[in-house]
């Protein structure tokens, strides 16, 4: 249970909070609040969009018809049910995603059904949050054999490289802004 608190997301959240606290303690209240608001918004998006992976066995697949929307349209939603190595249940959606350049949801669903029939362990890369309240489910991005290291996929590497540069830019921008306004306060007195 303790290892979840050492994930990259919580470390980044702690860094944003500590950074805003340091800015506030050094006398830049407005910049500290702005850094906190921007950092929390970026962290929320990052946590939603970042790829996560788990290894386990597929316990079932299902296709459900969605409720009608405002235009009276419905769609078929593919669900994949898994049991992780820690014997926790995971319910995942399988749909195409323009953000992750995923246009192969039928192949992924077929792989999931085959893995479920054969009772083989697989590693699944997924993104998005799970919310019982809003009926949100994570979306499967890719499906592979157990033990495959998903960090080496081009889209996962690209995501982490771009967001690392954006995180560094965030910290640098607010530090630069703090330094810039800190010198102006001394001249006004």
CB 95 within 8 A of CB 78: yes
> What pLDDT, on the 0 to 100 scale, is given for residue 1?
38
pLDDT digits (tens, 9 = 90+) for 8-38: 778 888 899 999 999 898 888 899 999 999 9
Domain chopping of the chain, boundaries: 7-49+157-188, 52-152
Q: Could you tell me the pTM of the whole model?
A: 0.73
- The one-digit pLDDT tens for each residue of the chain (189 residues) are 344 555 777 888 889 999 999 989 888 889 999 999 999 999 988 888 888 888 888 888 888 777 777 787 777 778 888 888 877 778 888 877 666 666 767 777 888 888 888 888 888 888 877 666 666 778 888 788 887 777 777 888 888 899 999 999 999 999 998 888 875 544 443
Q: Taking phi first (over 0 means left), then psi (-120 to 50 degrees means alpha), and beta for anything else, what does residue 135 get? A: left
Evaluate whether 82 touches 54 at the Cβ level (below 8 Å): yes
Kindly report the CA angle at 92 between 88 and 96, in degrees rounded to 5? 160
Q: Please state which CATH number belongs to domain 52-152.
A: 2.40.50.110
């Amino acid at each position: 249970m303790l290892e979840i608190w050492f994930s990259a997301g919580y470390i980044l959240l702690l860094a944003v909070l500590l950074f805003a606290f340091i800015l506030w303690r050094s006398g830049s209240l407005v910049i500290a609040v702005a850094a906190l608001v921007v950092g929390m918004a970026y962290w929320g998006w990052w946590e939603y969009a970042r790829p996560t992976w788990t290894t386990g066995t597929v316990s079932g697949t299902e296709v459900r018809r969605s409720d009608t929307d405002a235009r009276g349209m419905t769609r078929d939603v593919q669900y994949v049910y898994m049991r992780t190595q820690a014997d926790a249940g995971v319910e995942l959606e399988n749909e195409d995603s323009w953000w992750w350049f995923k246009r192969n949801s039928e192949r992924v669903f077929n792989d999931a059904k085959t893995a479920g029939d054969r009772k083989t362990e697989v590693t699944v890369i997924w993104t998005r949050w799970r919310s019982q309240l809003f009926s949100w489910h994570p979306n499967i991005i890719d499906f592979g054999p157990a033990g495959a290291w998903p960090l080496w996929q081009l889209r996962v590497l690209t995501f982490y490289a771009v967001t690392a540069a954006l995180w560094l830019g965030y910290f640098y921008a607010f530090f630069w802004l703090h330094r810039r306004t800190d010198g102006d306060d001394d001249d006004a007195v």
